[in-house]
Amino acid sequence: MARLFLVRHAPTPETGTKLTGRLPGVSLGAKGEEVAAKTAGRLEGVRFEAFYTSPIERTRETADIVAAPHGLKPIIHDGVIEADFGTWQGRSLASLRKLKLWNDVVTVPSQTRFPGGESFPEMQTRAVTACNDIAAKHGKATVAIVSHSDVIKSIVAHYVGTPLDLFQRINISPASVSVIHVPRHGPPFVGAVNSYGEFK
């Protein structure tokens, strides 16, 4: 049974105020690095076989910090990249909440596509496919995947059996850890969601 640790990247100065999406040059900064180091401490007792990360800068920085105590080099995986927010990328969350489409994003994400970007079902499909592929590759080992809030929410929703239209009810905070168990045979199960506890 593979065990997948889903780690959301540590906060950036823009977290919570801007939809940075896939914009380049969005770094953790000193505070984010400090938070990532605390996550590394909580995971220090886990025996990881590999670390995977979204190619976005803030996730790579987080993955480097969290993987360092284990002597592992994170592997970039495009399947867990941030959602393609299209023309919404780079805009403030305050401005986006005024748009009619925002209500669809919150209430019917299964029917929503970002203007010029991808849909929520497309995001979930590629992210879950990535997790299944990683689990199949690593067999009974434990691996970490550093990704983004909506991506991790969609993964957790899939494995717990929650409809995509309800996935916004799942909270995934910066630097939190969620754990998915994926057996070779039988149903997967969720071991932890949005945790800040210590793991073994």
- Pull the structure tokens for residue 196: 């800040």
Confidence band for 200, pLDDT divided at 50, 70 and 90: confident
Residue 147 has pLDDT above 90, yes or no: yes
Q: What percent of the chain has pLDDT over 90?
A: 97
Confidence band for 184, pLDDT divided at 50, 70 and 90: confident
Confidence band for 53, pLDDT divided at 50, 70 and 90: very high
Euclidean distance between CA atoms 144 and 121, whole angstroms: 23
Domain range annotation of the chain: 2-195
Please say whether the beta carbons of 174 and 33 come within 8 A.
no
Residue 185 has pLDDT above 90, yes or no: no
Distances (CA, A) of 143 to 5, 92, 136: 6, 34, 11
pLDDT in tens, 58-70: 999 999 999 999 9
Determine the longest span between alpha carbons in the chain, in angstroms. 47
Confidence band for 3, pLDDT divided at 50, 70 and 90: very high
- Pull the structure tokens for residue 164: 């995509």
Mean pLDDT of the chain: 97
Euclidean distance between CA atoms 41 and 33, whole angstroms: 12
Please say whether the beta carbons of 26 and 12 come within 8 A.
yes
Backbone phi and psi for residue 36, each to the nearest 5 degrees, phi listed first: -60, -35
Please say whether the beta carbons of 21 and 83 come within 8 A.
yes
pLDDT in tens, 5-33: 999 999 999 999 999 999 999 999 999 99
Under 8 Å CB-to-CB from 115, ≥6 apart: which residues?
Answer: 86, 87, 88, 101
- Pull the structure tokens for residue 5: 């640790």
* Predicted TM-score (pTM) of this structure: 0.96
What is the rounded radius of gyration, in angstroms, for the C-alpha atoms of the chain? 16
Q: Is 193 helix (H, G, I), strand (E, B) or coil?
A: strand
pLDDT of residue 93: 97
The CATH number of 2-195 is: 3.40.50.1240
Confidence band for 172, pLDDT divided at 50, 70 and 90: very high
pLDDT in tens, 110-143: 999 999 999 999 999 999 999 999 999 999 999 9
